[in-house]
Chain A
Amino acid sequence: MRRTVPLVITFIAGVAMIVSFFVNDGTVLSVASSKVKEWGIIIAGFAVVLGTGNIVRVTLHKAKRGEDRPFKIVLLVCLFATMFLGLFFGIDKEIRSTWMNFGMFEREYNPFYWIYFNIQLPLGATMFSLLVFYITSAAYRAFRVRSIEAGILLTTAVIVMLGQIPISSAIGADKVMAWIMVVPNVAAKRAIFMGAAMGIASMSLKIILGIERSYLGGDS
């Protein structure tokens, strides 16, 4: 029950997906397979609920132990406040009717959208922009031209960076960069994509056939 049923479910779900891709003639089999795809999206929706619950549980546990307690409280307050505003006002720029606000506040500026636009967006953008300093300093410390491969990597990176600055056209770096991006870069990406696709397909097949079972947990 604990081992066999999940393996059977995986097999049926996997085969249904493959069938829905190849059989699209409106028969019962193809229609049923395509509906199973929809079910997967719905099941994933419940996983979001589980994920939210899990983050609350872990944060509460840490707060109880006194680990960064004020910050954990900030996290929980932000989480619950945003979720409440989202459930109450919807996710669009203008407030829409949801089952929680009984159709009030039509076409007003949505506080959920306000939070996203004025807090989450600047936080995320600035957080990612910080990486430019760390990526540059890490590259400065780590990159040493000890081999031909390292030299090629470094030279390409410098040309690509030079090719995107305003004086690139004056020094001709934009043309070299364009050539690198459409010729050797495409060759490399194509080789990587093909190799990765073969890996993904073979791993997926192993999962469907029940050879790979690590996703079931340790005591499977």
Chain B
Amino acid sequence: MKSPLNMGIGVGVVILMVASFFYKVSFGGEFIPSFGLWVAAWMTLIILSFLYKDNPFYKAAEHIMVGLAMAYFAIYYIFQVLEPRFYNRLVLNELQPGEQLFGSPEVFRWALIIPAILGCLMLTRIFPKVAWMSRWSIAATIGLGSGLAIPVTIQANITTQIRAASQLPLDYMTALHGNAEVMPGFTNVHLWQIGVPLLMIGTICGLMYFFFSVPHRGVFGYAATFGIWILMIGFGASFGYTVMARLSLFIGRVLFLLKDWLDWLPT
């Protein structure tokens, strides 16, 4: 907002927005729902204005979003986690049946002081002299996360995937016998017959590409090359899906403006 012209345009846009809202409300719209709709529409238009160029409205909206998102996250965590899991149990003594430690609900209740102390130690990061104490709570969080990650990732991403891949030969035999229902919604049995071996070989070759303990030469090199082709198909599919997801989000916003806000399209 450096030049008077830009300032004038900015003030004009704000006046236009406010005037248009009151114009709409004066024709029978209810105040609070209409106001919400109009605020949402203004926010949408302000963000879209960035497509022309960076401007103070967009910058303000950007900062509004950061403030709101942080506040929403904090409040959500307070009411969904700290209140039911900590405050209600420790301060209000509202324990569920079966919530006990070493056979005693009281031990369970008072043991909650330990995470509270560790949580408070995290706040020592604000004070440089005792900031080192925050490492204790960080260590607890990192340790819990790491300990949880080992069995969970092995189970979800290795054993489950191996189990699903082991099922493939059985599916392949079923497909060879002409049962097109082997994959829901997939009626072309020939494509499926090609797909099953490709899926098995593709997975193995993809893993071979990630195996760097052996030089990628000879037969191993060919397999790794095929693996990178398969990986490229995966990346291409992800890219295409991401673009279309963003596009559908954009269509959603345009429909919101045209249908909900301006009422130009039939509902």
**Which residues does A use to contact B, with CB under 8 Å?**
2, 5-7, 9-18, 21-22, 28, 31-32, 35-53, 55, 57, 68, 70-72, 74-83, 86-87, 90-91, 109, 112, 114-133, 135-136, 139, 148-150, 152-161, 163-164, 175, 178-198, 200-201, 203-205, 207-208, 215-217, 220
Answer whether A45 and B68 are a contact pair too, CB < 8 Å, given A126-B253, A188-B230: no
**Are A74 and B206 closer than 8 Å at their CB atoms?**
no
Please give, as numbers and ranges, the residues of chain B lying within 8 Å of A216 by CB-CB distance: 135, 138-139
**Are B75 and A78 closer than 8 Å at their CB atoms?**
no
Q: Bin the interface of chain B by size.
A: 35 or more
Answer whether A37 and B246 are a contact pair too, CB < 8 Å, given A120-B69, A148-B229, A157-B240: no
* Cβ distance A60 to chain B, nearest Cβ, rounded Å: 13
**Are A197 and B153 closer than 8 Å at their CB atoms?**
yes
Interface-central residue, B60, B146, B147, by most chain A CB under 10 Å: B147
**Are A129 and B250 closer than 8 Å at their CB atoms?**
yes
Answer whether A75 and B43 are a contact pair too, CB < 8 Å, given A183-B198, A187-B203, A190-B165: no
CA distance A181 to B236 in the complex (A): 10
Please give, as numbers and ranges, the residues of chain B lying within 8 Å of A198 by CB-CB distance: 158
**Are B246 and A47 closer than 8 Å at their CB atoms?**
no
Please give, as numbers and ranges, the residues of chain A lying within 8 Å of B138 by CB-CB distance: 6, 215-216
Answer whether A187 and B230 are a contact pair too, CB < 8 Å, given A48-B77, A181-B237: yes
Q: With an 8 A cutoff between CB atoms, is B82 at the interface? A: yes
**Are A82 and B68 closer than 8 Å at their CB atoms?**
yes
**Which residues does B use to contact A, with CB under 8 Å?**
32, 36-37, 39-41, 43-44, 47-48, 50-51, 59-82, 85-86, 101-102, 108, 111-112, 114-116, 118-120, 122-123, 125-126, 132, 135-154, 156-158, 161-162, 164-165, 183, 185-186, 188, 191, 194-195, 198-203, 205-207, 209-210, 227-244, 246-247, 249-250, 252-253, 256
Give B162's nearest chain A residue, CB to CB.
A194
Q: List 5 A-B contacts (CB under 8 A).
A: A77-B67, A114-B36, A185-B238, A207-B142, A207-B143
CA distance A176 to B202 in the complex (A): 18
Please give, as numbers and ranges, the residues of chain B lying within 8 Å of A75 by CB-CB distance: 63-64, 66-67
Given contact pairs A10-B143, A11-B143, a sample of 17 additional A-B residue pairs in the complex whose CB atoms are under 8 Å apart: A12-B143, A13-B147, A17-B144, A39-B114, A40-B140, A40-B148, A50-B123, A71-B59, A123-B64, A149-B229, A155-B236, A156-B240, A157-B243, A188-B202, A191-B207, A191-B209, A192-B231
* Cβ distance B37 to chain A, nearest Cβ, rounded Å: 7
Give A117's nearest chain B residue, CB to CB.
B36
Answer whether A120 and B72 are a contact pair too, CB < 8 Å, given A71-B59, A131-B246, A184-B234: yes
CA distance A70 to B78 in the complex (A): 29
**Are B71 and A40 closer than 8 Å at their CB atoms?**
no
Please give, as numbers and ranges, the residues of chain B lying within 8 Å of A42 by CB-CB distance: 81-82, 85-86, 112, 115-116, 119
**Are A184 and B198 closer than 8 Å at their CB atoms?**
yes
Please give, as numbers and ranges, the residues of chain A lying within 8 Å of B149 by CB-CB distance: 200-201, 204
**Interchain CB contact (< 8 A) of B82 among A45, A179, A181, A186:** A45
| Nearest 3 CB-CB pairings of A with B | A188-B234, A17-B147, A191-B206
**Are A190 and B82 closer than 8 Å at their CB atoms?**
no
